[in-house]
Amino acid sequence: MKLNLTRRDVLKFGGGAAVGVALTPAPWKTLDDVAIWSQNWSWIPRPPQGPSSIHDTTCALCTAGCAAQARCIGTLPVSMRTANEAAPLCPLGLTAHHLPYHPARIARSFRVIRAEDGIRRIPVPLDTVISAAVTAMAGARGTTASVAVLDTRPGRSTSWAWQRLLGGIPNGIYIPAPGREGANLTSLREIIGSGDAIGFDLENVRTILSFRAPIASGWGSRRMNEAIRDGKVRLIQVDAVRTQTADIAQRWLPAKPGSEAALAYGIANVLMSGNAATPDSTYASYTAEAVAAISGVPGDAIVATARELAENGPALVVMDEGFGRQTEDAIHGLNVMLRNAAIVPRAELPAPYADATLAPVAEMDRVPDGSIAALIVDASAGDVRFPWPVVRRKLRKDAVVIAIAPFFAASVQRADYVVPALTALETISELPTPFDAPAARLSIAPALLAPRHEAVDPAAFVRAIARAAHLELPGDWSKSEELTRARVAAIHSDRIGSVTARDGSSKKVTEFASADELWDALTKGGVWNGDTAARSFRAKPRPAISNMKTSPPLVALVRTPRDVTASAAVSPVMTKLYQESGLRRPVHAATVNPVTANQLKLANGAKATLRTEAGAAGVVIVTDHAVMPGVVEVTAAPDAIALGEPANGSGAGIIDLFAPDANGAWRIAAARLVEA
Amino acid sequence: MSTEIKPKSRFGMVIDLDRCNGCGACAAACAVENNVPPARAKVNDRTGLTWMRVYRAVNGKPFPDNRAVYFPISCQHCGEHTPCVSVCPQNAVDVNPETGVVSQIPVRCLGCRYCMAACPFHARYFNWYDPEWPHEMENALNPDVSVRMRGVVEKCNFCHSRWQAAVAKAAAAGNKEIDPADYVPACVEACPEKAIVFGNLDDPKSEVAKQSKAPNAFRLLAKLGTDPKVTYRSDREWVRRLGDTDVARTESEASRG
C-alpha cells in the first residue's frame, strides 16, 4: 500500500505531537529542573562553612557598650546576639558583623580633591598626611589660631593621647564631638560650677521630664522602658511630634519647637511659686498662661507637670542635644531647682599615665569662630551626626581638616586628608563610661576578625604626629591596645571598683592578682565599674532669658537616631527598615502634618525643596498626623553611601541645613517648603 | 481546601503590640539569620524582601490625638484552608507535619506568584533580582540557610534552620523532643522589648498558648477562617479593630485610603 504523505498530514502530526507532549510530564519536569538548576548558579553567594563557635564580646558601635555574643564560623563572625536582656542589641548592633565588609571602607590614606562634578581621592602615603598635620600645627604657632582634635568617642585612652599631644602645642584644644549624647551636661556642670563628670542615678528616679530625648528609641534601657510602661517611673515627654517615646509616656506635652526654654521657665515659675522660702522674681513673667501662648502646651498641663516633678521625686530633667546653651541652661535650671538627687557626680576613668600636661577641653560652641587652623577628626571608633556648619564656622578659611576613620561617609567626606582605621570586631575596642552612667565604667571588646585592610591605629597616628612635631609623650606605647592596657594597669594600681563578669558574678579589683588578670576578665566580657560617690548639689539657676521667642511659621526639626548615626556606615540590610518598608523615614523624607501640607499645596509623595538659611535640599513629602502643624520633621537617616551603594558624595546631608545660631542651637531651623 | 495534615506540634507566636516600639530589630535580625539580601537602589516597599515587616498603623485622628501602633507581620502560618498551599501548582508550599510551619521550598518554586496573590496577609515576597551582597560580605552570611535565586517566592518559615539545629541537638542527647529553649526564631530572640513570645500552641503549659488565649488577643483577618498561628495582643480597642482590616499595606497604599 502506497503511503501518500501530504503536507496536511505532516502538519497534523506535528500539531498532535506538540499537544501530546504538553499533556505529558516532560515540559513541567523541564521547567522544574530549570528552576532547580537556576538556584545554583555560580554567582549565587555561598555562606562560609566550618566549625561554629560563640564568643563573648561587647558591641562597640555606640557608647552604650551592650553585652553581646558573636557566632563565628572559623574566624568569621556571622551573627551577633544580645547577651544581657536588660541591654538588648539594636538593629545596628545586630548587623555589626557586616560593617568590616562595607563598600565605604577606606583602604588606604588619600587626599580629597573637590571639583564641580564631585570629589576625587588621590592616594597619598601616610607620611604626607602627617606632614600636612605638622605643617598646619607649625603655621598656627605664634598666632591666635588653634590646633584642634574633634573626638567622636571621648573618654578612650586614645582620647587621652590626643589631649596629651595637644597639651604640648600652644593653642591646642581638645573638642568632644558636638551632638554626642550628654554634651548638654557641660551646661549643667557650668551652672553648678563642678569639674566632675555627671551621671544619672536612673535606678532611683521616679519621674523623668524629657525634652525630646529619645528614651524609648535608643536612649533608655529595656528595664527603664518597662518601668515606664508599668508606671513605676513617670515619663513626661516634650516633643512636637508624637514619637515612640511620646507613645509610652504618661504625659505628652506637644510644645512648639523653639519654645522649650519658655516651657522650662513656666514649669520653674510654678515650682518657685510653691516655695515661699526662696521667692524668685526671675520667672515671674513666665506664667502658665503666658507660656501656654508661646508653646502651645495648655497651662493646666504645665502646672500639673511642675507639681508632679515636685511631688513625685526624685525627678530628672533630660534633653536631646543641639538645643543651644540658652535652652540647656533653662532646662538644667529645673534640675538645679529640684536639688536633683538623681544627678550624681562621678569620677573620670583613670588616665593611662599620670600626666598633667593635657590640653583644655572645649565644647565646639565655646570655640571662637574662624579660629581653628588645623582640625583632626578622630572618628576611628564611631560617628556622631552633627551639622557640618557647626564645625565650618570655627575653621579658618585655609584650615586643614584631617580625618582618621574606617568609612568614607558622613562628615569624614569633608576632610582634606583621610587616614584608614579599623572597624569594631577587627580591633580591640575600648568602651569608656557612657554619658548617663552613675559611676565610671570600662568594658573592652576583643578583636574577632582579622583586619581586611591596611589601617592606621589611631594611637599610632598620635605617636607619629608627635614624633614628626618633635613632641615628647609619656609612656612606651605605639598602639591603642597598649594604651588601653596602661589604663587597665592604672585601674589595678588604684585598687578601686569591681568587675562584673558575664555570668553576673562580681569581683573586686583588689582581688585580681595582676593587671593582666584584670585585662583578661575585661576582654572576656567583664565590665569594670568604679565606685559611686553620690551627693546632691546646690546651686542657683542662671538668669532667665530676656525675651520670649515666638516660633516662625514653619520650623524644620532634625532627628539623629542613635542606632544608625553611631556609625557613619550601616549594614546594607538596613534597607529593610529604610527602603523596603515604610518603618523608618528615609533621609530624603520631609514629614509634615496633612494640614500643613494642604496649606503649602503639597500632596503626600510630592517632590519638594526644603530651604533654610543654611541651604536647600530636595525632599519627598510624607504626611503624618503625628507631626505638629507648622513643623517639618527630617531625619539624619543613612544615605545611599551609608547603606552601601557605591556613590561619590560631597558629604553634605540634610542635617547640614541646620546651621547653629549664636547660642549653638542647631536642632531646629526656620524653613520654607516649596514644590520642586 | 483544608490542610489535611495534623501536625505533631503547632508552633506559633504571640506579639504584644503594646510593647512593640517599632525599632525594627526583628526585621534586621530576620534578614541576617535568613540571608535575605539587601535592596538594590531601585527596590521599594512593594518589591523589597522583608520576611518580617513592621507596619505602622494609626488611629486616623488629627494631631494631637493621633496614635500609632507598630504591627510586625510575617507569614501567619495558617492552619486551615492555607491559601498559598491550595494554589501552588508546584507543591512548593508545604506544611511541616512535625511543626505545623508553612514552608516555602524555593527549589520547587517556579515564580508564578499565585501564592502571593492568594496570601491575605501580603507576607510573601518575590525575588525580583539576583541576591547580592557587597564584595566579601558573603563571609558574614549564615551557613545554616541557603541563599535563594531570583525568580522564586520566599517568606518566613519560623527560622526552620534553628528548628533543625534544635532537633539535631535533642537527637544527639538521645531525646525525641526538642528543648523549647533551643528553638527560638531570630525575631523573637532580637526583640528588645520582649514583645514576641514563641512556642508550641498545643502545649497548654507554654507561655505562647496562655497568651494566645488572653482576653486582649486577636488574630489578623480572623473572619477568613485560615486559623493563623500568629496572634496579636493589645489593650487598645482601636488596635484590636485593626485586626479585621488590611493592615499589611505599604505607606503609599495606606495614604490612598
Place of cell 521616679: A206
The answer, for A42 touching chain B at a CB cutoff of 8 Å, is: no
Residue closest to A460 by CA, chosen among A500, A417, A513, A419: A419
Our CA-based measurement puts residue B248 at a distance from the nearest CA of chain A, in whole angstroms, of 11
> For residue B150, what pLDDT is reported?
87
* Cα A360 from chain centroid (whole Å): 24
Question: For position A279, what pLDDT does the model report?
Answer: 52
Across A190-225, b (16+ Cβ under 10 Å) vs e yields bbbeeeebbbbbbeebbbbbbbbbbbbbbbbbbebb
Task: Please report the pLDDT score of residue B1 as a whole number.
Answer: 46
Within 8 A by CB and 6+ apart from A515, the residues are A485, A488, A489, A491, A492, A493
Distance from CA of B83 to the nearest CA of A (A): 22
Torsion over CA: B164, B167, B173, B178 (sign): positive
Question: Which tens digit of pLDDT belongs to each residue from A502-548?
Answer: 999 999 999 999 999 999 999 999 999 997 655 555 555 555 554 44
Q: Residue A72 has which C-alpha cell?
A: 563565628
Q: Rg for chain A (alpha carbons), in Å?
A: 29
Chain A residues touching residue B193 (CB < 8 angstroms): 222, 225
Residues 6+ apart with CB under 8 A from B17: B69, B70, B71, B195, B232, B233, B234, B236, B239
For residue B3, the distance in angstroms to the closest alpha carbon of chain A comes to 24
Contacts with B, A 521-580, CB within 8 Å: 563, 571-577, 579-580
Reported as half-sphere exposure (CB side, CA atoms, 13 A), residue A185 has a value of 21
Inter-residue contact A130 to A456 (CB < 8 Å): no
Among the partner-chain residues A217, A571, A629, the one whose CB lies closest to the CB of B23 is A217
Q: What pLDDT shows up at residue A545?
A: 54
CA A250, CA A231: separation in Å to the nearest integer? 8
pLDDT digits (tens, 9 = 90+) for B174-227: 998 999 999 999 999 999 999 999 999 999 999 999 999 999 999 999 999 999
Of A89, A229, A584, the CB nearest to B24: A584
Question: What pLDDT, in 10s, does the model give residues A619-673?
Answer: 999 999 999 999 999 999 998 888 888 766 666 789 999 999 888 899 999 999 9
Cβ contact, residue pair B28, A571, below 8 Å: yes
- Indicate yes or no: CB of B23 within 8 angstroms of CB of A90: yes
Report DSSP state, residue A305.
H
What whole-number distance in Å separates Cα of residue A269 and Cα of residue A286?
Answer: 6
Stretches where chain A sits below pLDDT 70 are 1, 35-36, 38-39, 219-220, 274-281, 532-551, 647-651
H/E stretch holding A325: helix A325-337
Q: Do β-strands A441-445 and A429-431 pair in parallel, antiparallel, or remain unpaired? A: antiparallel
Distance from CA of B53 to the nearest CA of A (A): 7
Closest by Cα among A481, A467, A490 to A523: A481
Nearest to A78 among B24, B110, B140 (CB): B140
Chain B closest CA to A589's CA: distance in Å? Answer: 13
Concatenated DSSP letters of A607-618? EEEEEETTEEEE
Pairing between strand A631-635 and A555-559? parallel
Q: Do B38 and A571 touch (CB under 8 A)?
A: yes
Burial grade of B87 (CB within 10 A; 0-12, 13-18, 19 or more): middle
**DSSP designation for A266:** H
What are the φ/ψ torsions at residue B15 (nearest 5 degrees)?
-115, 120
Ranking B55-64, B204-213, B247-256 by mean pLDDT, the lowest is B247-256
- Do residue A580 and residue B39 have CB atoms under 8 angstroms apart? yes
Residues in A 208-227 with any Cβ partner in B closer than 8 A: 216-217, 222, 225
Asked if the Cβ–Cβ distance from A576 to B190 is below 8 Å, we say no
Cβ–Cβ below 8 Å for B152 and A35: yes
The pLDDT value given to residue A203: 80
Q: How far away is chain B from the Cα of A51, in angstroms, using its nearest Cα?
A: 10
Question: Residue A90 and residue B50: Cβ atoms within 8 Å?
Answer: no
Q: Name the residue type at position A616.
A: A
Whether residue A252 lies within 8 A of chain B, CB to CB, comes out as: yes
Q: For testing the chain B interface, which of A32, A37, A39 should be mutated: the one with the most B CBs within 10 Å?
A: A39
Degrees to nearest 5, angle at CA A139 with A133 and A145: 100
- ipTM at complex level: 0.95
Residues in chain B within 8 Å Cβ distance of A217: 21, 23
- Among A625, A633, A639, most B C-beta atoms within 10 A, so best to mutate, is A625
Query: 10 Å Cβ neighbour count for A52?
Result: 13
Residues of A in contact with B251 (CB under 8 A): 582, 622
Q: Chain B within 8 Å of A102 (Cβ-Cβ)?
A: yes
Q: A473 near A160, Cβ under 8 Å?
A: no
Neighbours of A21 (CB within 10 A): 11
Q: Search chain A and give the residue with CA nearest B248.
A: A581
DSSP string, A488-499: HHHHHHHT-SEE
Inter-chain touch B139–A581, beta carbons under 8 Å: no
A593 contacts in B (CB within 8 Å)?
A: 62-63
Examine the pLDDT at B3 and tell me if it is beyond 50: no
**In Å, how far is B67's CA from the nearest CA of chain A?**
7
In the sheet that holds A607-612, the strands lie side by side as: A668-670, A555-559, A631-635, A589-592, A615-623, A607-612, A672-675
Contact at 8 Å (CB) between A162 and A354? no
Of B47, B134, B141, the CB nearest to A572: B134
Q: What is the pLDDT of residue A532?
A: 67
- Between B140 and A454, name the one with better pLDDT: B140
**Would you call B189 and A43 a contact, using CB atoms and an 8 Å cutoff?**
no
Establish how many alpha carbons lie within 13 A of residue B176's alpha carbon, considering only the half-sphere containing its beta carbon.
3
A5 touches B at CB < 8 Å: no
Selected for mutation to probe chain B from A52, A89, A242, A580 (highest B CB count within 10 Å) is: A580
Sign, CA dihedral B201-B202-B207-B210, equals: positive
B66/A625 CB distance under 8 A:
yes
Contact A78/B49, CB-based, under 8 Å?
Answer: no
Q: Which residues of B touch A73 (CB under 8 A)?
A: 143
A84 Cβ neighbours under 8 A, 6+ residues apart: A66, A67
Q: Which grid cell is A672?
A: 520654607
Phi, psi of A538 (to 5 degrees): -130, 125
CB contact under 8 Å between A640 and B41, yes or no, is yes
Of B56, B64, B142, the CB nearest to A79: B142
Pairing label, strands B53-58, B11-16: unpaired
Residues in A touching B16 (Cβ below 8 Å): none
Residue A280: its pLDDT value, please? Answer: 59
Residue A79 is predicted with a pLDDT of 97
Residue A252: closest CA among chain B residues belongs to which residue?
B64
Q: Who's near A547: CB < 8 A, 6+ residues apart?
A: none
A608 has which bridge partners? A619, A675
Query: What is the chain A residue with the closest CA to B129?
Result: A44
pLDDT of A612 reads 95
> If you search the block for the grid coordinates 541576591, which residue do you land on?
B131
Contact A48 B143 (CB under 8 A): yes
Instruction: Count CA atoms within 13 Å of residue A586 on its CB side.
Output: 23
How far apart CA B205 and CA B109 sit, in angstroms, is 37
Q: Which residue of A has its CA nearest to B255?
A: A604
Please state, in angstroms and rounded to a whole number, the distance separating the CA atoms of residues B70 and A427. 37
Do the Cβ atoms of B143 and A625 come within 8 Å? no
Packing angle, helices A325-337 and A185-192, rounded to 10 = 60
pLDDT at B2: 46
Q: Minimal Cα distance from B23: which residue of A? A: A217
Secondary structure E strands in A162-296: 172-176, 197-200, 207-211, 234-238, 251-253
User: What are B72-100's pLDDT values in tens digits?
Assistant: 999 999 998 999 999 999 899 999 999 99
Q: How far is A253 from chain B (nearest CA, A)?
A: 10
